[in-house]
Amino acid sequence: MGLAPEGDAEDDHAGEGNNAARNNKAEGADDLSNITVTILGCSGTYAEAGGACTGYLVQSEGANVLLDAGPGVVAQLQQHIALEELTAVVTTHCHPDHWAELPVLRNALQYCLGIRGVQTYGTAETETLFKAIVGAHGTDELGPAMPWTTITTGSTFTIADQRWSFLRTDHPVETLAPRVDVGDKSFVFSSDTGPDVDFAEFGPGIDLFLCEASLSVEDEGLAPHVSGREAGLLAKAAEAQRLVLTHFVPRVDVEAHREAAEIAYGARVEVAEIGAAFVI
């Protein structure tokens, strides 16, 4: 099953009413090749001291997109762009370490900054929880700041020059790994997943693969996540050109995860750190 994006956007209104990203590029934007992925938070389950849960800033010439919004991410996001420059938000699943900052981001946009139209994407389960927290349960609208679009496996859309597509992962709730294409560059994020997933289904040409590595090799199979070793195997099977590990549960031995990944992947493996930027 090929899920490489065709550019057949079902939804191309992200960013309307918010031209800041196009007119006011983020600091460092001159260095943008096609895609820059900046780590806003790389802790899994809960955040380490001084850290943040899952969140990444996906920047291109045309858009600044927040990918996942775990606790602590809004503070980190503002280290890189003003909230007025945010084009859209994409969340991968309803576990709180990936989206629980959405209501707080909505507070900022809707009540403090008067920003409208930051298109927000996520699964149906995430929408239900988000609406419950902000008191919009049972209504169609979350308000003008963050209009919602429900996505599922096979959804495709464009955000300015970014083409997004999704693959269901091996995780207990509906979890969608995104592939982002800009020009001829491609970025894939595993979101959370067990080992029973094949990112080659996204098609060829993955330049940067950001893969979770929650487990130690000894704990493989004990939770619906992968180890560094398994992340390396997933990256190798997908023929990804570059592998970065993320989603570290606090107190794990990150270097041991990286070493296990390198052996399985057969090439150099990098690890996510808050503030690090990966340019492709």
Q: How far is it, in rounded angstroms, from Cα 247 to Cα 236?
A: 19
Which of 5, 44, 51, 122 binds Zn ion (CB under 5 A)? It is 44
| Binding of Zn ion by 192 (CB under 5 A) | yes
C-beta of residue 180 within 8 angstroms of C-beta of residue 87: no
Tokens of 280: 């492709």
Closest contact distance (angstroms) between CB of 128 and Zn ion is 16
CA distance 249 to 267: 24
- Verify binding: residue 68, Zn ion, rule CB under 5 A: no
Residues 145, 112 contacting (CB under 8 angstroms): no
Task: Give the range of 40-48, 133-141, 145-153, 252-260 binding Zn ion by CB under 5 A.
Answer: 40-48
Nearest approach in angstroms of CB 210 to Zn ion is 13
Site string for Zn ion, 90-109 (x = CB under 5 A): -----x-x------------
Query: Of the two residues 215 and 280, which places its CB atom closer to Zn ion in the complex?
Result: 215
Q: How many residues bind Zn ion (CB under 5 A)?
A: 4
The 277-279 sheet, strands edge to edge: 148-150, 119-122, 88-90, 64-67, 55-59, 36-41, 277-279
d(CA 86, CA 166): 21
Nearer to Zn ion, 48 or 192 (CB): 192
Nearer to Zn ion, 44 or 194 (CB): 44
Label the pairing between strands 277-279 and 269-271.
Answer: unpaired
Which is closer to Zn ion, CB of 43 or CB of 120?
Answer: 43
Which residue's CB is nearer to Zn ion, number 95 or number 242?
95
Binding residues vs Zn ion (CB under 5 A): 44, 95, 97, 192
